[in-house]
Amino acid sequence: HKDRFVIVDAIGVTEKEKTVPQVGGKHQAMMTLERLLEELSRGVVSDDLMLQLAYKLTTIANKGDPDELAVLQKMSPQLHLIEFAQRIIEACEQETLPPFVDSNEPNTERKALLALLLDDIPARKKLIEIAKGYFKELPEQKDQLLYAGFSQEEAADRVHLFEQSLEELAEEEPLFQRLKDNAAQVEDLSVAGLEELNEILRRKITNFSVPQLWKDYALLLQAQSDANYNAAAAAAAVATTGVAANEADIGINEVAGSEHVKQKRMVIMLNPANEDETDAPTNALQLTRFAWHHTAQLVSLANNTRLIQLFNLWCGQTQNDLPMDDEHKNWYRSLAQYIAINGAIMSPRELRELNADLFRQLYQDFGAEVNRPIESLNNFLLRA
């Protein structure tokens, strides 16, 4: 399905540059619906977040399961998603609301506009449930794999094109040469740097898709793993008995100690229910590292399990340098989540634009040294 259309009204067109408005611009990272509703409920009712909500509700209304949407309508008869979203868009675009400064202000008009949804906890939960997948679960049935060989060939072609393109880009673009040499600067890993990385890859590779390449690597590694297992098992059987055995006769323990099996590369699949993970700009960075064999594991930095592991490890390593009580950890955790998804935060000013409340809390505690936890998390997470 097409998700985006641009309607051009040519009446009154003048000779000047034309642009397509972007939701939130570069000031606010895109969020999952669940996180977005949490932020709005906390009083962070900025235009950016309100518009994100409006467009997400429009998508759900158009793509959500009709039966589930009917349940939502029955739960909240006054909540009509399209109309509700349109009121938000009109209020923001026509600037009929008082300006949003921060969540400490009353923001009465903005909260009143959103109250129909934010005050309805059951409706919010149902919306999140619908948003996590625009599909119904099918009854359990055995899957049938068709054209596996053909899919594997296509995956191999895409991976080859990607890796060949990376080598060419390393000769053409200083950014990619630094990435290849594993010598990227923190500026290369910033929000702007990763935007540039993704944009160059899209220009270089037709139909470039991070999720598709992720699946391709997984498919090829699984096929390679199966082949290596069979070969290693057969070799182990010959070494032990002097007789080549059938694959079905060989136990897994006979190759468990194989050096090749120990060192095999791995792919941790992206979680389709987690938009932060599937859409993270840092995913392209992880792909380049995996392609250049800088890491044996292709895993998103925004993967919940991976991020928790990295964050806990960071806390342990920096506990003597930074305060590590529960309150500070909560602040650091918010920083870590943003960095893992979007890239390095380059200055306290950038943090203030992204999250004024978090900046205020850190500034009150660290003062002029507010950049200490930011720089520490930048360097630790983005070089993991």
Instruction: Spell out the alpha helix ranges (H) of 8-120.
Output: 33-41, 47-63, 66-75, 81-93, 108-118
What integer pLDDT is reported at residue 18 of this predicted model? Answer: 45
Asked which of 66, 101, 131 is the last residue of a domain, the reply is 131
Verify that 47 and 95 share a domain, yes or no.
yes
Is residue 153 a part of any domain in this protein? no
Verify that 125 and 190 share a domain, yes or no.
no
Coil, strand or helix: which one is 344? Answer: strand
The CB density around residue 311, as the number of other CB atoms within 10 Å, is: 20
Is residue 255 a part of any domain in this protein? yes
Residue pair 362/328 in contact (Cβ under 8 Å)? The answer is no
Verify that 112 and 191 share a domain, yes or no.
no
Structure tokens at 174: 């200083």
CA dist 315 and 309 (Å) reads 10
Structure tokens at 12: 């009154």
Structure tokens at 117: 């949804």
What integer pLDDT is reported at residue 8 of this predicted model? Answer: 55
What integer pLDDT is reported at residue 117 of this predicted model? Answer: 93
What integer pLDDT is reported at residue 228 of this predicted model? Answer: 57
Is residue 152 a part of any domain in this protein? no
Verify that 295 and 181 share a domain, yes or no.
yes
Verify that 254 and 370 share a domain, yes or no.
no
Asked which of 74, 97, 131 is the last residue of a domain, the reply is 131
Verify that 65 and 204 share a domain, yes or no.
no
What integer pLDDT is reported at residue 20 of this predicted model? Answer: 42
Is residue 365 a part of any domain in this protein? yes
What integer pLDDT is reported at residue 139 of this predicted model? Answer: 42
Task: Go through 65-99 and write b for each residue having 16 or more CB atoms within 10 A of its CB, e for each that does not.
Answer: eeebbeebeeebeebebeebbeebeebbeeeebee
Is residue 160 a part of any domain in this protein? no
Verify that 198 and 317 share a domain, yes or no.
yes
CA dihedral defined by 198, 204, 208, 214, rounded to 10 degrees? -70
Predicted confidence pLDDT, tens digits, the chain (384 residues):
444 455 555 544 444 444 444 433 444 566 788 889 988 998 999 998 999 999 889 888 887 888 888 889 998 888 999 999 999 999 998 889 999 988 888 899 999 999 999 989 889 988 988 887 543 433 444 444 444 445 888 999 999 999 999 999 999 999 999 999 999 999 999 999 999 999 999 999 988 999 999 999 999 988 876 665 455 555 554 454 444 433 333 222 332 333 333 447 899 999 888 888 999 999 999 999 999 999 999 999 999 999 999 999 999 988 778 999 999 999 999 999 999 999 999 999 999 988 888 899 999 989 989 999 999 999 999 986
Verify that 308 and 192 share a domain, yes or no.
yes
What integer pLDDT is reported at residue 284 of this predicted model? Answer: 96
Structure tokens at 3: 């998700």
Number of domains in the chain: 3
CA dihedral defined by 48, 104, 120, 97, rounded to 10 degrees? -50
Is residue 180 a part of any domain in this protein? yes
What integer pLDDT is reported at residue 319 of this predicted model? Answer: 75
Asked which of 100, 131, 162 is the last residue of a domain, the reply is 131
- Residue-number span of the structural domain to which 203 is assigned: 173-208+266-384
> With a threshold of 0.95, does the pTM exceed it?
no
Largest CA distance in the chain: 85
Verify that 281 and 185 share a domain, yes or no.
yes
Verify that 260 and 270 share a domain, yes or no.
no
Is residue 62 a part of any domain in this protein? yes
Verify that 57 and 107 share a domain, yes or no.
yes
Is residue 11 a part of any domain in this protein? no
Residue pair 368/354 in contact (Cβ under 8 Å)? The answer is no
Verify that 177 and 223 share a domain, yes or no.
no
What integer pLDDT is reported at residue 148 of this predicted model? Answer: 46
